[in-house]
């Protein structure tokens, strides 16, 4: 007997003295795989212990009792818990603070009950029951750590591992794999099967999801996700028994904007991220909790980085915004952060080529030019990825220079920044779930804000809400009625002449969603007036319910309007002599005079750079701390995950430095100071992670005399995968758009 | 030649007094000076620096520690200096190390400092320095 073994035996026996007054004959674990079976009476006596230590629900779960009378009491390991009727045994155990091992159960998907990992013992039932599928009944006595339950789990593990390959060392899931963890916790330490393992042909699901189907344990989570949440019937289960496989019935790619989420829900390494394959192991990554800014949803993400490189992006739970999903754009655009980056201040020489200069020289030149130009000819444009701090600084700088021509791209030239309810999503994203009729005006949520679309789909699926859509022909993944393509249809609905009006009228909580693409239209005010009439006629705006929503397109829009980034004249670009582009790439500069001086401050060499005279390199949102407000009016903050590239600086710092060089020094030189300045303008931007609803005031709007035109609505987003400088630089997004076009 | 001599170099015993340490320092500096022509040769430094510049770089390194009076510390610094010299003479370094450390110096390539920045705020000075300060 080795020394170590001796030592452990002494340790064991001494610890028994303190913790156990049961039988004292104990065996060292030798061959038998369930030692507690030999110890049955000891664990049985534990159940009768009078004083149980209080337990906390798993993951801080809270129970909501819709109806107090419906509460029932069950006993989990002898510990009584109150739960609402209709909860499953597994949920009851979670409330009691017992985490039940599971593979197929997922709280946001339907219950399949096919993995059998969640078996628990219930008193008076002859066999262990699958807790995820069994409703809890009053007075049920559930036992989660009895020898029978343990033996059942061990058996299930053994069967699962029978056909699961032993390739953890080369598996990307290794380290965050449910199967790995649970076989450590519940599995037997040796196998008894000596036959060959089965193997399954890998499927091609496109450029995002890598499959190793031999690893699949047939939990069907991915199938249920695709059909229930993503709304595409692409995946399915083929074959029976040991021939069972997950696949697309015919050779087909997964055509969903949410397909990346199957990577997260797959409990094993069968579905993993293709761009991340073999790039890093998850335990070497540093996670930074941040916000996605590539659309106006502000999905909560975790940026996993290694050294100076962003390795992957995964979702974070936020029930009010993205639940636990993110769109494919959010998940996979990150390789764009490594391409086309601007890393040195640059100046365009007389020969039209850029040459690198020092910050000193670059700022001195910009300051000098700025002073030679009449104030009203100075224009500032904030890009769609700008944070609130830098927009505040830019506005202050321009104001100090005497100009008031500043706007944020995407907001159009006549933004309505006075009434907050006129540009945010008044129901909130989670509030959409209460709606029972939707009218989508010139917006295509599936490409404009995939997470909002997922909410609408969830609602439509749960409550059979009716969806009417006015806009160009588009692809929806839920039942809808295409009512028309131009604003005339709106007038018809407003006047009650349209068949859809009755659907709206009968709805309890009707919702109207106007796309931000409308901001750029000539007849924007008339469209909004028509929408408001519809709202008034159908009780959309009531004291307890404001269903008049605007769905914004970009991460910067809401904050820009809150901060009052409104141009003084709508012809400012045509008459500009000095344009300051702060990451603005999509603003049209065709009408800009040829002799205008253009400064581009940004992180990517994208469209804005073509016309620029000076380039000031800035940091991307993964590299700085910044406040972004999403479309429902919830301010959130990004945190730096990786260092900046080259000689780049944070956006607000560049503007602050420029102001000093230009001799109009801004009065803040820290993030804290600039935020107190924001507090005086838009205090709601500092209420982080808390949705700030607009105060009701739609009725204050001036009367509009404008008539709606007959120009049909145009799609606001041409290509879901490439909407901004970062995503346009990404190779993965380019592959996706190539597939999209096919 | 100097570098052959250096190869046989031993770690000397501790200096008994400040005087002894001082004379060792001079001895070390002379050794540096004697190896400079060879260094110029093996690293091919003729087009970037002259021997006298290298000598003053070496002298500056020694002067950096002119305030040290503890013989034990001086011994330690001498030891490190000898080690560095050995590394250079044995070509354990590469040309860019020499150029970076002794020719260009710690200032790096940016040398348009001073004068202009006199009346700027700390913020701007830090801004020119790096993004993190
Ligand atoms: S691929 Fe993954 S999620 Fe889909 S059934 Fe297999 S194990 Fe489950
Ligand atoms: S989790 Fe209950 S059967 Fe799979």
At B11 the pLDDT is 59
| Interface with B, mutate which of A363, A646, A657, A672 (most B CBs under 10 A) | A657
- Ligand 1 centroid–CA A104 distance in Å is 9
Site to substitute for ligand 2 among A89, A101, A109, A113, most atoms within 8 A of C-beta: A113
Tell me if A105 CB under 6 Å of ligand 2.
yes
Domain range enclosing B31:
15-129
Q: Does a structural domain hold residue B106?
A: yes
Is residue B118 domain-resident? yes
Does residue A156's CB lie within 6 angstroms of at least one atom of ligand 2?
no
| Greatest Cα-to-Cα distance within chain B, rounded to the nearest angstrom | 55
pLDDT tens column, B87-133: 999 999 999 999 888 888 755 555 555 555 667 788 998 898 888 87
Is residue A147 within 8 Å of residue A40, measured between CB atoms? yes
Give me the residues paired with residue A73 across strands: A82
In a domain, B27, yes or no: yes
Q: What is the mean pLDDT of residues B52-76?
A: 92
User: Rounded to whole angstroms, how far apart are CA atoms A733 and A735?
Assistant: 5
Rounded CA separation A682/A709 (Å): 35
A460: nearest Cα among A486, A483, A433, A498: A433
> Given CA atoms A525, A321, A208, A266 in this order, what sign does their dihedral have?
negative
Residue B8 lies in a domain: no
Please indicate, yes or no, if residue B122 is contained in any of the structural domains.
yes
Q: Distance between CA A622 and CA A641 in Å, rounded?
A: 6
Residue with tokens 């510049």: B53
What atom in ligand 2 is closest to the CA of residue A130?
A: 2
| Rounded average pLDDT over A256-268 | 94
Task: Report yes or no on B52 lying in a domain.
Answer: yes
pLDDT per residue as tens digits for the range A487-539: 999 999 998 889 999 999 999 999 999 999 999 888 888 999 899 899 988 88
User: Cβ contact (<8 Å) for A669 and B128?
Assistant: no
Cβ-based contacts of B124 with chain A (< 8 Å): 657, 660-661
Cβ separation of A660 and B110 shorter than 8 Å? no
Residues A626-670 have pLDDT tens digits of 999 999 999 999 999 999 999 999 999 999 999 999 999 899 989
A272: pLDDT strictly greater than 50: yes
Q: Which ligand is nearest to the CA of A106?
A: 2
* Dist. CA A133–CA B34, nearest whole Å: 87
- The reported pLDDT for the residue numbered A43 is 42
Which of B110, B112, B124 lies at the smallest CB-CB distance from A660?
A: B124
> Cβ contact (<8 Å) for A653 and B131?
yes
pLDDT, residue B120, reads: 79
Which of A104, A157, A159, A223 has most ligand 2 atoms within 8 Å of its beta carbon, as the pocket-test mutant?
A: A104
The ligand with the least distance to the CA atom of A264 is: 1
A597-602 vs A481-484, strand pairing mode: unpaired
Q: E strands along A318-420, which residues? A: 346-348, 354-356, 378-382, 405-408
Q: Examine the pLDDT at A294 and tell me if it is beyond 50.
A: yes
Of B122, B123, B131, the CB nearest to A644: B131
Question: Considering chain A, what is the average pLDDT of its residues?
Answer: 88
> Is the Cβ pair B124, A649 closer than 8 Å?
no
Which of chain A's residues have a Cβ under 8 Å away from the Cβ of B132? 643
Shortest CA gap A87–chain B (Å): 52
Comparing alpha-carbon positions, the chain A residue that sits nearest to B116 is A360
Chain B touched by A669 (CB under 8 Å): yes
Q: Ligand 2 pocket, A100 CB below 6 A? A: no
Q: How confident is the model at residue A241 (pLDDT cuts 50, 70, 90)?
A: confident
Number of domains in chain B: 1
Q: Is A132 in the pocket of ligand 2 (CB under 6 A)?
A: yes
Ligand 1 mean position, distance from CA A453 (Å): 24
The two beta strands, A597-602 and A614-617, are parallel
Residue range A298-302: mean pLDDT, rounded? 95
How many whole angstroms from A530 Cα to the centroid of ligand 2?
A: 51
Query: Within the 52-111 window of chain B, which residues sit less than 8 Å (CB to CB) from chain A?
Result: 110
Judge if the beta carbon of residue A104 lies within 6 A of ligand 2.
yes
Cα–Cα separations (whole angstroms), residue A643 to A283, A457, A555, A588, A625: 20, 39, 22, 32, 12
- On the 0-12 / 13-18 / 19+ scale of CB atoms within 10 A, A470 is buried
Ligand 1 pocket test, candidate residues A217, A263, A264, most atoms within 8 A of CB: A217
Whether B4 maps to a domain, the answer reads no
**Using one digit for the tens of pLDDT, what is the confidence trace for A109-126?**
999 999 999 999 999 899
Report the SS3 class of residue A605. Answer: coil
Beta-carbon neighbour count of residue A405 at 10 Å? 24
State residue A709's pLDDT score. Answer: 86
Mean pLDDT throughout A305-309? 93
| Residue ID of nearest Cα to ligand 1 atom 3 | A266
Higher pLDDT, B106 or B73: B73
Contact list in B for residue A665 (CB cut-off 8 A) is 121
Residues A567-599: tens digit of each pLDDT: 988 888 889 999 999 999 998 888 899 999 999
CB-based contact, B121 to chain A, within 8 Å: yes
d(CA A589, CA A585): 9
A122: DSSP letter: E
Residues of chain A in contact with residue B122, where contact means CB-CB under 8 angstroms, are: 669
CA of A219 to the centre of ligand 2 (A): 8
CB of A117 sitting under 6 A from ligand 2: yes
How many residue pairs bridge chain A and chain B with CB atoms within 8 Å of each other? 33
CA of A238 to the centre of ligand 1 (A): 13
Residues within a 6 A CB radius of ligand 1: A 216-222, 246, 265-268, 270-271
Judged by its nearest atom, the ligand closest to the C-alpha of residue A224 is: 1
CA of A248 to the centre of ligand 1 (A): 13
What pLDDT, in 10s, does the model give residues A471-500? Answer: 999 889 999 999 999 899 999 999 888 999
Task: Using the mean position of ligand 2's atoms as its centre, give its distance from the Cα of residue A113 in Å.
Answer: 4
Instruction: Give the pLDDT band of residue A305 (cuts 50, 70, 90).
Output: very high
- Residue B118 sits at the chain A interface (C-beta within 8 Å): no
In this prediction, residue B104 carries a pLDDT of 82
> Cβ(A217) to ligand 2 under 6 A?
no
Q: Which chain B residues are Cβ-neighbours of A359 within 8 angstroms?
A: 127-128
Q: Can you list the domains of chain A with their CATH numbers? A: 3-47 (no CATH), 62-160 (3.10.20.740), 163-273 (3.30.70.20), 346-406+574-686 (3.40.50.740), 425-551+701-712 (3.40.228.10)
Mean of pLDDT values over A166-195: 90
Nearest by CB to A660, from B112, B121, B132: name it. Answer: B121
Cβ pair B123:A657 closer than 8 A:
yes
Neighbours of A484 (CB within 10 A): 18
pLDDT digits (tens, 9 = 90+) for A189-238: 888 888 889 999 999 998 999 999 999 999 999 999 999 999 988 899 99
pLDDT tens by residue, A25-82: 444 444 444 444 444 444 444 444 445 566 777 766 677 777 777 889 999 998 899 8
**Would you call B131 and A669 a contact, using CB atoms and an 8 Å cutoff?**
no
In a domain, B6, yes or no: no
Here the tokens at position A191 are: 């196998």
User: Is residue A488 classed as helix, strand or coil in its secondary structure?
Assistant: helix
The DSSP annotation for chain B comes to -HHHHHHT--PPPPPSSHHHHHHHHHHHHHHHHHHHHHHHHHHT-TTT--HHHHHHHHHHHHHTTTT---HHHHHHHHHHHHHHHHHHHTT-S-HHHHIIIIII-TT-S----GGGGTT--HHHHHHHH-S--
Burial of A383: CB neighbours in 10 Å, binned 0-12, 13-18, 19+: buried
Q: What value of ipTM does the predicted structure carry?
A: 0.78
Least distant ligand from the CA of A267: 1
């Amino acid at each position: 007997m080795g020394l170590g073994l001796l030592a452990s035996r002494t340790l064991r026996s001494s610890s028994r003295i303190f913790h156990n007054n049961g039988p004292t004959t104990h065996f060292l674990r030798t061959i038998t795989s369930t030692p507690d079976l030999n110890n049955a009476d000891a664990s049985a006596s534990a159940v009768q212990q009078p004083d149980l230590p209080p337990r906390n629900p798993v993951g801080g779960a809270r129970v909501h009792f819709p109806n107090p009378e419906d509460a029932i009491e069950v006993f989990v390991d002898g510990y009584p818990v109150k739960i609402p009727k209709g909860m499953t045994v597994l949920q009851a155990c979670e409330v009691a603070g017992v985490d039940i091992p599971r593979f197929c159960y997922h709280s946001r998907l339907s219950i399949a009950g096919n993995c059998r990992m969640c078996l628990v013992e219930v008193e008076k039932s002859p066999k262990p029951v699958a807790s995820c599928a069994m409703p809890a009944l009053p007075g049920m006595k559930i036992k989660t750590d009895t020898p029978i339950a343990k033996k059942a789990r061990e058996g299930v593990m053994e069967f699962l591992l029978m056909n699961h390959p032993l390739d953890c060392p080369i598996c990307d899931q290794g380290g965050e794999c449910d199967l790995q963890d649970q076989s450590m916790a519940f599995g037997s330490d040796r196998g008894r099967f000596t036959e060959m393992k089965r193997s399954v042909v890998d499927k091609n699901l496109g450029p995002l999801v890598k499959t190793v189907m031999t690893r699949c344990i047939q939990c069907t989570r991915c199938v249920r996700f695709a059909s229930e949440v993503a709304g595409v019937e692409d995946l399915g289960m083929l074959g029976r028994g040991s021939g069972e496989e997950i696949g697309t019935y015919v050779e087909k790619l997964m055509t969903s904007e949410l397909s990346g989420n199957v990577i997260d829900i797959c409990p094993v390494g069968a579905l993993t991220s293709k761009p991340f394959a073999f790039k890093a192991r998850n335990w070497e990554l540093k996670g930074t909790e941040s916000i996605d800014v590539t659309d106006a949803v502000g999905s909560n993400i975790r940026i996993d980085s290694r050294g100076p490189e962003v390795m992957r992006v995964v979702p974070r739970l936020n029930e009010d915004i993205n639940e636990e999903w993110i769109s494919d754009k959010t998940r996979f655009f990150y390789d764009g952060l490594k391409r086309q980056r601007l890393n040195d201040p640059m100046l365009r020489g007389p020969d039209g080529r850029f040459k690198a200069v020092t910050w000193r020289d670059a700022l001195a030149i910009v300051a000098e030019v700025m002073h030679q130009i009449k104030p009203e000819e100075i224009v500032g444009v904030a890009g769609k990825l700008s944070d609130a701090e830098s927009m505040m600084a830019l506005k202050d700088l321009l104001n100090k220079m005497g100009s008031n021509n500043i706007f944020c791209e995407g907001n159009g030239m006549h933004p309505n920044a006075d009434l907050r309810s006129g540009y945010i999503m008044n129901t909130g994203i989670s509030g959409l779930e209460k709606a029972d009729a939707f009218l989508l005006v010139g917006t295509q949520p599936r490409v404009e804000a995939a997470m909002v679309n997922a909410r609408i789909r969830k609602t439509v699926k749960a409550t059979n809400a009716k969806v009417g859509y006015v806009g160009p022909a588009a692809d929806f993944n839920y039942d809808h009625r295409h009512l028309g393509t131009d604003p005339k249809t709106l007038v018809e609905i407003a006047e009650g002449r349209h068949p859809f009006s009755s659907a709206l009228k009968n709805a309890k909580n009707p919702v109207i969603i106007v796309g931000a693409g409308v901001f750029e239209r000539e007849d924007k005010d008339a469209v909004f007036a028509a929408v408001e009439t519809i709202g008034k006629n159908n009780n959309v705006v009531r004291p307890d319910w404001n269903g008049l929503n605007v769905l914004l397109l970009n991460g910067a829009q809401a904050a820009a309007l809150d901060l009052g980034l409104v141009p003084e004249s709508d012809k400012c670009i045509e008459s500009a002599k000095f344009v300051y582009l702060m990451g603005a790439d999509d603003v049209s500069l065709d009408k800009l005079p040829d002799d205008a001086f253009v400064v581009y401050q940004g992180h990517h060499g994208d469209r804005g750079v073509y016309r620029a005279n000076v380039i000031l390199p800035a940091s991307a949102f993964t590299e700085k701390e910044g406040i972004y407000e999403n479309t429902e009016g919830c301010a959130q903050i990004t945190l730096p995950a990786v260092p900046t590239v080259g000689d780049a600086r944070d956006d607000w710092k560049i503007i602050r430095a420029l102001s000093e060089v230009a001799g109009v020094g801004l009065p803040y030189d820290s993030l804290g100071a600039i935020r107190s300045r924001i507090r005086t303008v838009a205090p709601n931007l500092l209420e982080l992670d808390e949705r700030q609803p607009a105060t009701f005031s739609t009725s204050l709007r001036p009367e509009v005399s404008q008539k709606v035109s007959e120009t049909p609505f145009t799609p606001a987003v041409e290509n879901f995968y490439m909407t901004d400088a970062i995503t346009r630089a990404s190779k993965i997004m380019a592959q996706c758009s190539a597939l999209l076009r096919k | 030649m100097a570098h052959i001599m250096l190869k046989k170099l031993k770690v000397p015993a501790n200096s008994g007094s400040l005087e002894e340490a001082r004379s060792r320092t001079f001895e070390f500096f002379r050794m540096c000076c004697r190896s400079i022509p060879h260094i110029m040769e093996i690293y091919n430094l003729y087009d970037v620096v002259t021997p006298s510049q290298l000598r003053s770089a070496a002298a500056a390194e020694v002067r950096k520690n002119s305030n040290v009076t503890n013989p034990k510390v001086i011994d330690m610094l001498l030891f490190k200096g000898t080690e560095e010299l050995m590394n250079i003479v044995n070509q354990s370094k590469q040309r860019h190390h020499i150029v970076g450390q002794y020719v260009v110096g710690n200032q790096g390539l940016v040398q348009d400092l001073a004068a202009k920045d006199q009346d700027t705020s700390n913020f701007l000075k830090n801004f020119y320095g790096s993004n993190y300060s």
